[in-house]
């Protein structure tokens, strides 16, 4: 009976670690640098996550079409990361965020 609790806890921890390792999209924005791990993720999904994580205002992001992306970016400047993500999208525009705006990133798309 006492052996089941640690065994069950260990099994649940292992499942949680495995699920985190297989997450199709992980995004962090810090000090103007982006870390992005995306496995077969649509651009519109990446932009939606960017909006949530960075507080970015993205207009018409849900209308972006194109093939899903697989990317692994580590500490890339925001502008460069967005250029990579949006390289297959025509007609997009980026604007610097106004100073003093309380967000994580410095770009509006």
So what's the pLDDT on residue 11? 52
Per residue in 18-66, pLDDT (tens digit) is 444 568 999 999 999 999 999 999 999 999 999 999 988 888 888 898 8
**Does residue 16 sit within a domain?**
no
| Secondary structure element (H or E) that encloses residue 75, with its range | strand 69-77
Per residue in 7-20, pLDDT (tens digit) is 555 555 554 544 44
**Does residue 1 sit within a domain?**
no
**Does residue 39 sit within a domain?**
yes
When divided into structural domains, the chain yields a total of: 1
**Does residue 11 sit within a domain?**
no
**Does residue 50 sit within a domain?**
yes
Residue in the block written with tokens 């390289």: 87
Domain assignment of residue 36, given as a range? 24-108
**Does residue 19 sit within a domain?**
no
Alpha-carbon gap, residue 66 to 103, rounded angstroms: 28
**Does residue 30 sit within a domain?**
yes
**Does residue 28 sit within a domain?**
yes
How many Cβ atoms from other residues are within 10 Å of residue 23's Cβ? 10
Instruction: Give me the residues paired with residue 27 across strands.
Output: 36
Q: In this structure, what DSSP letter does residue 37 have?
A: E
Between 71 and 19, where is the model more confident? 71
pTM (2 d.p.): 0.69
- Looking at the chain, list the stretches that DSSP marks H as alpha helix, in order from N- to C-terminal side: 4-21, 43-54, 78-85
> What does the angle CA 72 – CA 12 – CA 45 come to, to the nearest 5 degrees?
30
């Amino acid at each position: 009976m006492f052996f089941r609790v640690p065994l069950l806890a260990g099994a649940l921890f292992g499942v949680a670690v495995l699920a985190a390792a297989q997450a199709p999209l992980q995004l962090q924005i810090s000090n103007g640098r982006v870390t992005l791990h995306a496995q077969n993720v649509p651009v519109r999904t990446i932009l939606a996550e960017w909006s949530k994580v960075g507080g970015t205002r993205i207009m018409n992001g849900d209308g972006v079409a194109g093939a899903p992306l697989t990317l692994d970016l580590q500490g890339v400047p925001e502008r460069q990361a967005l250029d990579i993500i949006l390289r297959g999208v025509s007609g997009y525009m980026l604007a610097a965020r106004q100073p003093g705006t309380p967000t994580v990133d410095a770009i509006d798309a």
